[in-house]
Amino acid sequence: MSTNTIKNAGTSNGVDIFNALAVPNRRKILEMLANQGQLPATAIAHKFSVSPPAISQHLKILKEAGLLVMKKNKQQRIYQINPKKMHEIEHWAKKLAEQWSQRFDRLDDILKEEKATILKNYTNQLNKSAKS
């Protein structure tokens, strides 16, 4: 996998997606929006025990990371998940998982070959001992 693929999946507008996701409250915001669809910032803030300005900062970071999109409706800021960015992350994660799966498959093949060789050598030793 190229470094560009990782860079593209990991950053948006200078904000690292994985750093944005590292904060539990930000992950909770994403989960809330995934379950409930679009919500105004005030409704999101009411679900947390931290101050509204803190939630506003979390929303800003998630938006700058490309994970959320925001639209203004009169005085409200309505947030929703950015499905395109989520698909990019999912695609990147699947590629990474496929690479590891291929590595484990190769390791399984090597271990099977080693096991067969050890079993063959052991059988040969037993046969030699039986003949003696």
The CATH number of the domain where 21 resides is what? 1.10.10.10
Model-level pTM greater than 0.85? no
Residue 4 has a pLDDT of: 46
The percent of residues in the chain predicted with pLDDT above 70, rounded, is 89
Is pLDDT of 80 > 60? yes
CB atoms within 10 A of CB 31: 11
Q: Is 14 left (phi over 0), alpha (psi -120 to 50) or beta?
A: left
Task: Provide the domain limits for residue 15.
Answer: 3-82
> Where residue 131 falls among pLDDT bands split at 50, 70, 90?
confident
In a domain, 10, yes or no: yes
Handedness of CA 56, 60, 61, 67 (dihedral sign): positive
Average pLDDT, the chain: 89
Distances (CA, A) of 4 to 9, 92, 94, 119: 8, 11, 16, 45
Structure tokens at 77: 């800021």
In a domain, 65, yes or no: yes
In a domain, 89, yes or no: no
Beta partners for residue 80, in sequence order = 69
Is pLDDT of 31 > 90? yes
Report the C-alpha gap between 89 and 132 in whole angstroms: 64
The total number of structural domains in the chain stands at 1
